[in-house]
Amino acid sequence: MRELARMQQASSRTVSVHLTHGGEYFGLLGPYGVDGGWWSAAAPVVERVSRELGVPVVVLRLAYAPSDGSSGHGGHVVYHVEALERPAGSTPRQVTADVAALLGAAERRAGWATAAGLREALAWAGGTLVGAGRPAVGRPEQVRTWNLSGLFRFRTADGGGAWLKTVNPAFNAPEGLVIELFGSVDPTLVPTVLGSDPERGRLLLDHVPGEDCWRPSAEDVVAVVPRLVAAQAALAADGRAAAAGLRDRTLPTLVAHVNALLDRLVAERATSPGPGPEEPEEPEEQPEGQPEGRLTAEELTAARALAARLPALVEEVAACGLPDTVVHGDFHPGNWRCDGTLAVIVDYADSAFGHPALDGLRPRQYVDGERWAQVAEVWARAWREQVPGSAPERALELVEPLFHLAYAVRYQEFLDHIETSERPYHETDPVTEIRRALACASRGATGG
């Protein structure tokens, strides 16, 4: 329910933009109020700045955002925006040292967050559409950009549409491969791939009609969940899931990643500045209204104790009889797309080889109690049909601490691969997920 509340909060933001064209700098524009509070939503910024300048623009990246627990939405944020044509009547300005540092090259910057990289990706997509006999019409629409992906929509000459998605292949799954795997079992479950360049993290998809199912109906659940389960069971049974070469997120491997993350947090705490020699250490309290950015000593001790119990918990989950398979990795209903007759699952960047209960539990954070009860029942029934004698309800109950720890590990992967200005998106996420895992343990969710 926290995730649902966050979605409902995101209604608006205030933005300023550093404007460039080619090698020229045209100053800081704004602030502007725009609809759509999520920082990654580029379309409202593009529309507002393009209207102001009279030329098309693209958002390259987030240059500044508050590190105050905003979790990716609202407040005042600053972007680097590139004009695709030289703005008439605008005069280039001298770049100060501060601006040069803000807009200059940075370690771990995404390719689509640079003017050259973005133009190259758009040219690749345009050429791929021409090769497919569906050339683009007009300029592509920038929908989203942030440290994890960039998303553009193309209108095509046949009256349809296509979507360009760019990701960092260093820490994301090869989505074209995952779509091919699921599509080999159920072609209607996945979008149609028009082009794929996994080495550069580019994917071009045919448009999927319908709406994202952020508030799924009972019919949506029935249309999506059993089909994912059937595909996962088939890929596990014929061995293709294990042979696909995806990132290993099986539960024993996950335990090793959790211990490595906790080692790191302990080391970071040990080297962080402490109180002066004559200053008493203050009790650590979470600031009201803000998530605490690091674990307390007591929480680290509790997390270590939980980690010590994880191997036994993994054995209990394994005894439930569900096979490791291709997991979607982010199976929330916003990644289900339905038009009333067809339901398609999108966004496979977090896919891996792992335990299917990690997918089964994901919708819980996005739906209310009644709908979650239905999702859990439908998911469990589907797995009992696929694997007679299994205990999927028990697996779903047991896996909850591991589910949150898996996301703590994943969020840390994000932080390790993104540039500094993008860190406010995820800065507190690993700690938040570890705390959720500890809350599960305190409720006895570990079965002990």
Q: What is the pLDDT of residue 443?
A: 81
Residue 4: is its pLDDT beyond 60? no
d(CA 175, CA 32): 36
For residues 213-221, average pLDDT: 96
Contact 169, 201 (CB under 8 A): yes
Q: What domains are there in the chain, each with its CATH number?
A: 7-104 (3.90.79.10), 115-207 (3.30.200.20), 218-270+294-442 (3.90.1200.10)
Task: Give the pLDDT confidence score for residue 10 in this predicted structure.
Answer: 52
Separation CA 404–CA 298 (nearest Å) = 19
* Cβ-contact 243, 235 below 8 angstroms: no
SS3 254: helix
Cα–Cα distances (Å) from 46 to 122, 247, 390, in that order, read 16, 35, 51
If you average pLDDT over residues 317-334, what whole number do you get? 98
Q: Say if CB 302 and CB 441 are below 8 A apart.
A: yes
Question: How many other CB atoms sit within 10 Å of the CB of residue 161?
Answer: 19
Q: What sign does the dihedral 377-380-384-385 (CA atoms) show? A: positive
Sign of CA dihedral 252, 255, 260, 263: negative
Which one, of 171, 244, 247, 156, lies nearest residue 204 by Cα? 156
Cβ 182 vs Cβ 356: under 8 Å? no
Which pLDDT band, with edges at 50, 70 and 90, does 1 fall under? very low
pLDDT of residue 68: 64
Comparing 241-255, 266-280, 282-296, the range with the smallest average pLDDT is 282-296
**377-429 residue pLDDT tens:** 999 999 999 999 999 999 999 999 999 999 999 999 999 999 988 888 898 99
Q: How confident is the model at residue 292 (pLDDT cuts 50, 70, 90)?
A: low
pLDDT of residue 253: 98
Residue 8 has pLDDT above 90, yes or no: no
SS (H, E, C) 215-229: CCCHHHHHHHHHHHH
**In terms of Cα–Cα distance, which of 175, 116, 167 is closest to 144?**
167
190, with CB counted inside 10 A (0-12, 13-18, 19+), is buried
Q: By the 8 A CB rule, do 164 and 158 touch?
A: no
**Whole-number mean pLDDT of the chain?**
91
**382: closest CA among 179, 234, 249, 238?**
234
Q: What is the pLDDT of residues 87-145, one digit of tens each?
A: 988 899 999 999 999 999 999 999 999 999 999 999 999 999 999 999 999 999 999 99
Task: State in Å, rounded, how far the first CA of the chain is from the last one.
Answer: 26
pLDDT of res. 70? 58
Q: Is 446 a residue whose pLDDT tops 70?
A: no
- Write down the pLDDT at residue 224: 98
How high is the pLDDT of residue 355?
98
Give the pLDDT band (50/70/90) at residue 285: very low
374: nearest Cα among 219, 269, 157, 169: 219
With a cut of 70, say whether residue 281 has pLDDT above it. Answer: no
Torsion sign, CA atoms 40, 41, 42, 44: negative
Residue 290 has pLDDT above 50, yes or no: no
pLDDT at 279: 40
What is the average pLDDT across 214-242? 97
138: which residues sit within 8 A by CB, 6+ positions away? Answer: 155
pLDDT for 69 equals: 55
